[in-house]
Chain A
């Protein structure tokens, strides 16, 4: 009776034993890396907008965040400004610039500009801008160095563990209220000392673990 398998089958079977382990482990690692990659999460990817609005340019001119994002201190939504806010300045400045043609068109027709949303949370999460801003969490803590961004990009992958990082230890990120809207804020060296003091002063509810309850975000 001839042999069913040639001697190479021995090698193949041993190699496949090892390979299976590597393939399974490697596959899982690859899935994890893909899931966290900028390709999936859009972190650090500048998003093109109907008008190439530069946060870098406008903040460096000294315009406060709240000039456009008017409701950030009172509402869950920070507000994306309407065309009239742009036109406050641009009816005087660069009135003929090609870049601003869509703004003028929107102004004339009354059809809003379709800005592309950069930081979009899933619908099952509620994020409230007002409470964060009022308790000393700065814009740049989540949105990244907005003062350096010619076009806006997503600075953080918006993972739940990233939210929890701060909700578990807000003292690592909290800053004085007057610095909240500073796009170039640098935390002091003794952040933890300052942080603990501010957490106490602003009455951030860390002691009752309310910040890590499910319902605080998943209402």
Chain B
């Protein structure tokens, strides 16, 4: 039963912002719209297209990892003085993308931002897959990934302990904690919906599989009570992770004594950049998904508008970070710092630097305009630009500081080889492959949470 609203009523009820979700949606309608996607007999052609391309890229991933294991990291463009290249750039880029999911699921939850409900499940899934992609890079960079467990402190036969003063060891703990908590959080939030899927499922296999993962959820008051306590606790646990993980990642750089890296602004500046890139990625993914799967009533322009505002805010913080870096290079009076900044702005990587300023600093200023924030195609393009800009940022940080060593005799240039690019594209394959499977089998919006919004909305009208 759909209620019809006139434009005037609309304006009166929802003000300037527009509705959070389509007001004509009913509680049953939400279930049909969201659960309907995994229940489809076949998926739309765009889904097959993405899956096909992702599978091909996944082949690239397999190929480049195999080649790497056979030949070693010499396949990559790494050499002295640039001993950190694509591997760390891509690691930081992917892990930064994950941060939007955690921010949406934890911090926005604690601040009772209801609009998060339409995007949190999807963003959390994105987080998980992005962290998995990120994790591949340092593991492969080990050269001998099969002994990765040496990174953990365990009673080993070598009588050596990890070097706890090294931020690379902190990374291990930060990232593995992040992955664990994100997975738990995502799964906990899924349980009531998996039960819905189990109950709606027509096939025996669907009932059993969804049933196993629903952990016997019956929706009793006690279940809901426990669920809410658990979810709140997990949100509390995840909240520090939003800040800590990328701070630790930034310390990989900041702890070393190298011009351009050795700055105290790195942790906050990295965290802002992470959230910035994460939201850019969420918008990039959500815009086509809501279009293809008919979820425009659930993921509305208001969601896009809100996310764009967060992007604008974090983008400004990041831009402030760039300005601060430049200012302190000058203010320090340190010739090495000053040279580093001059070299960044006018050296061999100047093009990439100014592209980064354009992509991350200038283009997103368009988001000040409401019309831009609500124009789906323009917003999509800006987000792609920001994704590129954030990758360039890490590239500039890693490469420009290293390639001009303290000794001019060691100076050299860096560029990724075809294997570097192949591996990077390969992780895209993994990411989109996993995302397509997620869309195929799991309700990508939290049905019950959106229903709560619908319910609250209807009650409001009746008052």
Contacts and interface: CB of A to CB of B under 8 A. Distances in A.
Q: Do A and B come from one complex?
A: yes
A5 B218 CA distance: 13
A4 B157 contact: no
Interface in B189-214: 198, 207-208, 211
Given A4-B198, A10-B216, A13-B216, A36 B211 contact: no
Given A4-B207, A4-B208, A4-B211, A159 B158 contact: yes
Q: How large is the interface on B (under 10, 10 to 19, 20 to 34, 35 or more residues)?
A: 10 to 19
Q: Which of A10, A157, A161, A165 has its CB near the most chain B CB atoms (within 10 A)?
A: A161
Contacts of B211: 4-5
Contacts of B208: 4-5
Q: Is the interface of B mostly helix, strand, loop or mixed?
A: loop
A213 to B, nearest CB: 12
Contact of A13 (B156, B158, B215): B215
Interface string B156-187: 11111000000000000000000000000000
Given A4-B198, A5-B211, A165 B159 contact: yes
Given A4-B207, A4-B208, A36 B157 contact: yes
B200 to A, nearest CB: 11
A5 B195 CA distance: 13
A164 B159 CA distance: 7
B394 to A, nearest CB: 30
A4 B159 CA distance: 52
B158 A160 contact: yes
A5 B157 CA distance: 46
A58 interface: no
A205 B234 CA distance: 53
A15 to B, nearest CB: 14
A159 B211 CA distance: 48
Contact of B159 (A5, A9, A36, A160): A160
A131 B207 CA distance: 71
A161 B215 contact: no
A35 interface: yes
Contacts of A160: 157-160
Nearest to A32: B155
A204 to B, nearest CB: 19
Q: Which of A4, A35, A161 has its CB near the most chain B CB atoms (within 10 A)?
A: A4
A161 B198 contact: no
Interface string B444-456: 0000000000000
Contacts of B156: 161
A9 B216 CA distance: 9
Nearest to B160: A160
Contacts of A164: 158-160
Interface string A31-48: 000011000000000000
A35 B157 contact: yes
Interface in A188-212: none
B216 A161 contact: no
Nearest to B198: A4
9 contacts: A4-B211, A5-B216, A35-B157, A36-B157, A157-B157, A160-B158, A161-B157, A161-B159, A164-B158
Nearest 9 Cβ contacts at the A-B interface? A161-B159, A160-B158, A159-B157, A164-B159, A4-B207, A4-B211, A161-B157, A161-B158, A5-B211
